[in-house]
Amino acid sequence: MTQRKQIIAGNWKMNGTLSETANLINGLKQKIKSDTLRRNVILCPPFTSLILARELTKGTPFKLGAQNVHFEGKGAFTGEVSAEMLKETGCEYVIIGHSERRAYFHEDDALINKKVKKALGTELQVIMCVGETLEQREKGITNDVVRTQTDGSLHNVSEKELEKIIIAYEPVWAIGTGKTATPDQANEVHEYIRSLISDSYSPAAAERLIIQYGGSVKADNAGELLSMSHIDGALVGGSSLKADDFAGIVLA
Ligand code: 13P
């Protein structure tokens, strides 16, 4: 049996004014108590809410993550935020390579790899996202897509550095659509990702790796997904925006 402690992360995406941030975190504090918590919990609000979130999560089990980072430390990159800045706001994690960044902001594996290296060099842990579109799944190339994304994004990442990486498998067709991958479908891809890591690093590295599932995770399907042998947590979008829903997943 594995010793991996499951991690549930809430990706708020572009949601959460300061008052919404305060309401949500205060609600979560009421519902999720550290003494009974079996899973780790990460909240990823927008940049503008990070400092408030840091204040509100003091003394709670909740860790903080950001949703994006630039690969340079500073300079003339209008609109971007550096890993150093994120560290200062109390972030311990950053989501990199989300399919929305890949699709709407044209991020490719080479760029994602630069961001991953920068985050690791700044002692941020990374939630690195991979996943196929519906068209790719229907063509039967899910594994090829996931392999290309994983290899490209982890280029020149050492086995030691890999300990600071979580991989989130998020099939694009399941994001925000209400269509969840079945537990078996998800587990199969997770097992494949673990085999890739075993081949390119070591069986021990693969055994340690946390692989989250993301895509329409809800309180009523989380239990089944999280009971699968290769699913070590969830990256939650829509259902992370209501305290009841997110607590239901964390405690599922
Ligand atoms: P939903 O949970 O809204 O499908 O979003 C998943 C996701 O993209 C998390 O990063």
Q: Is 235 in the pocket of ligand 1 (CB under 6 A)?
A: yes
> What confidence category does residue 6 fall into, taking pLDDT thresholds of 50, 70 and 90?
very high
Per-residue confidence (pLDDT) for residue 2, from 0 to 100: 58
Pocket test for ligand 1, best of 7, 8, 11, 239 (most atoms within 8 A of CB): 11
Measured distance CA(167)–CA(190) in Å, rounded: 9
pLDDT digits (tens, 9 = 90+) for 19-68: 999 999 999 999 999 887 999 999 999 999 999 999 999 999 999 999 99
CA distance 113 to 57: 30
Q: Is the CB of 236 under 6 A from ligand 1?
A: yes
Three-class DSSP labels, 154-188? CCCCCHHHHCCEEEEECCHHHCCCCCCCCHHHHHH
Distance from residue 144's CA to the centre of ligand 1 (Å): 22
Give the pLDDT score at 1.
Answer: 47
Express each pLDDT in 192-226 by its tens digit.
999 999 999 999 999 999 999 999 999 999 999 99
pLDDT of the residue at 119: 98
Task: Give the residue, out of 8, 13, 44, with the most ligand 1 atoms within 8 A of its beta carbon, to mutate for a pocket test.
Answer: 13
Ligand 1 neighbour 215 (Cβ under 6 A): yes
Q: How far is the CA of 17 from the centre of ligand 1 (A)?
A: 19
Which segment of 23-27, 176-180, 233-237, 239-243 scores lowest on mean pLDDT?
176-180
pLDDT of residue 246: 98
**How many A from CA of 171 to the centre of ligand 1?**
10
What's the half-sphere exposure (Cβ side, CA atoms, 13 Å) at 2? 19
Reply yes or no on whether 163 is catalytic. no
Q: Is the pLDDT of residue 151 over 80?
A: yes
Question: Of all atoms in ligand 1, which is nearest to the CA of residue 100?
Answer: 8
Domain boundaries 7-14+21-26+38-250, corresponding CATH code: 3.20.20.70
Q: What would the pLDDT profile of 61-116 be if each residue is shown by its tens digit?
A: 999 999 999 999 999 999 999 999 999 999 999 999 999 999 999 999 999 999 99
d(CA 72, CA 4): 32
- Which one of the listed residues 100, 107, 132, 170 is annotated catalytic? 170
Residue pointed to by tokens 């996943």: 131
Q: Domains of the chain: which residue ranges?
A: 7-14+21-26+38-250
Nearest CA to ligand 1 atom 9: 237
Question: Taking the model in full, what pTM does it have?
Answer: 0.97
CB 16 less than 6 A from any atom of ligand 1: no
The torsion angle over the Cα atoms of residues 152, 168, 49 and 12, rounded to 10 degrees, is 120
Tokens encoding 110: 């080479």
Nearest-CA residue for ligand 1 atom 2 is 237
For the range 70-75, what are the long-range contacts, defined as Cβ-Cβ under 8 Å and sequence gap of 24 or more? 70/115, 70/118, 71/111, 71/114, 71/115, 71/117, 71/118, 72/118, 73/118, 73/122
Which long-range contacts does 196-204 make (Cβ < 8 Å, 24+ apart)? 196/146, 196/147, 196/150, 196/151, 197/150, 197/162, 200/151, 200/154, 201/159, 201/162, 202/159
State if residue 176 touches ligand 1 by the CB under 6 angstroms criterion: yes
The pLDDT of residue 179 is 86
235 CA: nearest ligand 1 atom: 9
Distances (CA, A) of 78 to 18, 81, 100, 108, 210: 23, 9, 20, 20, 34
Residues 98, 107, 132, 230: which is the catalytic one?
98
